[in-house]
Amino acid sequence: MSSQISSFLSLGPEPLDDEFTLEDFQIRIRKHPEEIKNLLINQGFLAGVGNAYADEILFAAGIFPFRKRPGLRPKKVERLYHSIKTVLSEAIQAINDRIGEQNRTEGFPPGASKGEPALSGLRPHDLRD
């Protein structure tokens, strides 16, 4: 159990948290020289961004996924930050529209009894409290 808790504590910031600012992102991203897609899916860098969302974010920002972070100019870093916020916000809204806010918060998504996959809508940091 304690190893599960420690794995949540090692997560990076929640991208949609108000405390995750452009300035914070600019500082954090400078420390990483790897390919930008690998950085986005690194849960220690940002919590909750997986492969598919990373692709959507990079497409929206107009950034090639295999580009190395040092090759990003400040304007591209800023565009990336805003794309992260926009793509993830739109994804959450689409999920809420699809399954309904009431069902999401109660944990009973439509079709769950029919064997269809359930979408919880929980963010990783929601489990820390």
Calculate Rg over the CA atoms of the chain: 16
What would the pLDDT profile of 25-52 be if each residue is shown by its tens digit?
A: 999 999 999 999 999 999 999 999 999 9
What CATH number corresponds to the domain at position 81? 1.10.8.50
Kindly state the percentage of the chain with pLDDT values over 70: 71
* 116 band by pLDDT with thresholds 50, 70 and 90: very low
* Domain carrying residue 54: 2-107+120-127
Asked whether residue 81 is domain-assigned, the answer is yes
Closest CA to 60 of 87, 37, 38, 36: 87
Amino acid 129: pLDDT: 40
Q: Determine the residue type at 114.
A: K
Asked whether residue 48 is domain-assigned, the answer is yes
In this structure, the number of other CB atoms found within 10 A of the CB of residue 30 comes to 11
Amino acid 11: pLDDT: 93
Asked whether residue 60 is domain-assigned, the answer is yes
* 102 band by pLDDT with thresholds 50, 70 and 90: low
Who's near 40: CB < 8 A, 6+ residues apart? 46, 49, 53, 54, 57, 58, 84
Asked whether residue 113 is domain-assigned, the answer is no
pTM of the predicted protein model: 0.73
Question: Three-state SS for 115?
Answer: coil
* Both structure tokens of 97: 């529209």
